[in-house]
Structure 1
């Protein structure tokens, strides 16, 4: 081939490596957890068509940091921040409903989140806002973390309950059984059983917590 022909030969650009962002990685990780109930870094890398080291480039601490990224992603799903000028009960009710709604859509991620310290900035900011409202309402500093923990446990437990079977308890069929009577009565109620349980529990919880206000 002549030098002239070589000059006319088009240059084929090298393929670029896939561009990654933290949001892409956390979204893919969340999908994996939704599907499998676990998070595998090699599988996550294969899904994204990159090397594991590429993920570590964005999440230096690895798996735990990816899970915290998921926590932050779900927190952002809780929509716009609530008005801190609201009454503490109203604020906490809305906060709890949003929190449960976001995590109930992804119940498999809840056990993973409970195994590590909360460091996601978005999530810490959400808890800071709740704590500010509760402190202003009169909850003492020595009680405040316990109040937040009680709310957290209740909401995450309810998020798991949202994915439970329709019949959580087997019906013995015993006409004298109080549990069987309760099961039968609940089946006739309209709407979602888990959501009704959440609303009852939230009302009881807030009533009890009010006793701690100084």
Structure 2
């Protein structure tokens, strides 16, 4: 049976923790983000989180139903950071490009958390507000509802999929990441035209591009396709 979560005012600690902090939902989420950044997903446990907060592990469960509930709260926090201070300009294509970039950047700022959370659907306030904004931009641009939902689906999944892919790269140990990056120069760029004519012909371009994220290009392709449909 799920644990009962009482309102924050009722569960606030009466005294500070050993670190002098009065616990709150936001403080626990921020501490969990720091732990993910420093130790990765395997390092985020209730016991370790309680230790980092200067409290007993059971204290975490006064704020969250379980660790998965905390993961969903982290996902919603990252989405909220992407949406902070965003104001639609009225240019739907520019607005979606900005939002896509914001979402991608918000997750990449916390790559370990992104790998853990970007595939989740939270149904929480920041996520819901973001979805409402994106659908409003599309419907306001003149897309029919079915098309607005289809484009929204592709837009948000593309943003989060690239966030996971690029975050996974950033989350690699430095030596592994650098070794992967060198493959384009040390292997692909040296393949002979006699056996690999297409790779050999494009090798300098591959070396220059393939270690960067393809998300900006993919986002522009999606928006160009949507714009062509709207014009048609």
- Global fold match (TM > 0.5): yes
State the match for 1:3 in structure 2: none
What TM-score do you get using the length of structure 2 for normalisation?
0.72
After superposition, the CA RMSD in angstroms is 2.7
State the Cα distance separating 1:69 from its structure 2 match. Answer: 2.0
1:6-64 Cα offsets, whole Å, 9 max, x none, are xxxxxxxxx945120111110111122223331322221121121222111122x2222
Count of residues in correspondence between the two structures: 195
Which of the residues 61, 80, 86 maps onto 2:85? 80
CA contact (8 A) 2:119 2:160 kept: no
Are the structure 2 counterparts of residues 31 and 181 from structure 1 closer, same or farther at C-alpha, using a change threshold of 3 Å? farther
State the match for 1:67 in structure 2: 71
What TM-score do you get using the length of structure 1 for normalisation?
0.77
Question: Which has the higher Rg, Structure 1 or Structure 2?
Answer: 1
1:91-115 Cα offsets, whole Å, 9 max, x none, are 1001111111111112222332245
Which of the residues 126, 129, 135 maps onto 2:139? 135
Are the structure 2 counterparts of residues 35 and 137 from structure 1 closer, same or farther at C-alpha, using a change threshold of 3 Å? same
Are the structure 2 counterparts of residues 98 and 115 from structure 1 closer, same or farther at C-alpha, using a change threshold of 3 Å? closer
1:54-91 Cα offsets, whole Å, 9 max, x none, are 111122x22222122212322332230222x5121011
State the Cα distance separating 1:143 from its structure 2 match. Answer: 3.4
Correspondence 1:27 to 2:44: no
State the distance in 2 between where 1:168 and 1:86 align. Answer: 43
State the Cα distance separating 1:168 from its structure 2 match. Answer: 7.9
Which one has the bigger helix percentage? 2
